Chain A
Amino acid sequence: MKSLLPQISTRSPWLYRINAGSCNGCDVELATTALIPRYDVERLGCKYCGSPKHADIVLVTGPLTAKVKDKVLRVYDEIPDPKVVVAVGICPVSGGVFRDSYAVHGPVDSYIPVDVNVPGCPPRPQAIIDGIVEAIKIWKSRM
């Protein structure tokens, strides 16, 4: 039973999206990756969920603005372990074009341990799929 559970559960990770102050560009690409049949991330067994308590793979967009920082960290803490974090877009990875702004507290990895980076402004849906594939591999190793 112990060996069976990781095998089954790693086939269907739940994705959860945190918007840490993004300009919406990356969120649109995430929605595209998930919702329209052309890219259809659900072929990988993934499904978006609305509650952090159900999440397995967390997709973070945005540079972590001062305004949302505390809320992001609070939501992140609600996600059960083991979790895998994917930073989508250059904003969460380095701050992107907003780097060094007084309103930005990022990069995200100074507060949250990030596992996979998907740079791009915004990244293409296929690049996001690449990142999710990497994240599933990491998640399997953590189960």
Chain B
Amino acid sequence: MFSFIKIVLRNLIRGPSTEPYPFGKASAPKGLRGKVKFDAHNCVACRMCEHVCAGGAIQFSEVPDKRGLKFTLWHNTCAFCGLCEYYCPTKAIHLTGDYHTAHLQKDKYGYVETGLVKYQPCANCGTPMVPVSPRLLSLAYGQVNGDIARLTHLCSECRRQICDPVSSNRSEVK
């Protein structure tokens, strides 16, 4: 009898344990895997995320005017598995705490995350190339000196010419 009264009193003091959502705010726990966010600035278009994606949600394609590569992620097949974030070398893709994913059927195919990785012309020959992201540089070299910074503006062919002119000439002879 007394234990019953104790529980009633305790519950009265503690208040309801029901979360207020949808009538109030809902919090996302730390580390929750929610909707994916893409950051084109740090992406180096290695396409590893597209390769490992469990749901086949990610697609890279060149835009028609050849300005760069378009990243498209269809939320309606993303399993929130986090593989893309795990394997992305520059952490240009990550899962957020946003889990409010409900939408109407008419928006089904428009429910995407997009981004454009713009090409930049090679400083030497002008060939369009995917720019090297600053985050990848700092990951690879730590301290980035002037020489390395200059090389990042060159396409892979010109870089090879400068770094190893003998073997690149030899390949031309072949």
Which A residues form the contact surface with B (CB < 8 A)?
37-40, 43-44, 90, 93-97, 99, 109, 113-121, 123-124, 126-131, 133-134
Contacts and interface: CB of A to CB of B under 8 A. Distances in A.
B89 to A, nearest CB: 24
Given A38-B17, A40-B18, A93-B76, A118 B105 contact: no
A123 B101 contact: yes
B79 interface: yes
A93 B108 contact: yes
A131 B56 CA distance: 24
Interface stretch (B19-27, B116-124, B139-147): B19-27
Contact of B18 (A37, A121, A130): A37
Interface residues of B, number: 29
A28 B101 CA distance: 18
A25 B47 CA distance: 29
B18 to A, nearest CB: 5
B81 interface: yes
Contacts of B56: 99
Interface of B: 16-19, 21-23, 26, 32, 54-56, 74-81, 99-105, 108, 111
B105 A97 contact: no
Contacts of A126: 19, 21-22, 26, 99-100
B77 A118 contact: no
Given A123-B99, A130-B100, A97 B55 contact: yes
Contact of A127 (B102, B104, B108, B111): B102
Contact of B76 (A116, A119, A133): A119
Contact of A90 (B16, B55, B103, B105): B55
Most chain B Cβ neighbours within 10 Å, of A38, A94, A133 = A94
Nearest to B74: A94
Nearest to B81: A121
B104 A120 contact: no
14 contacts: A38-B17, A39-B19, A94-B74, A114-B105, A117-B105, A119-B111, A121-B79, A121-B80, A121-B81, A124-B99, A126-B100, A128-B102, A129-B21, A131-B102
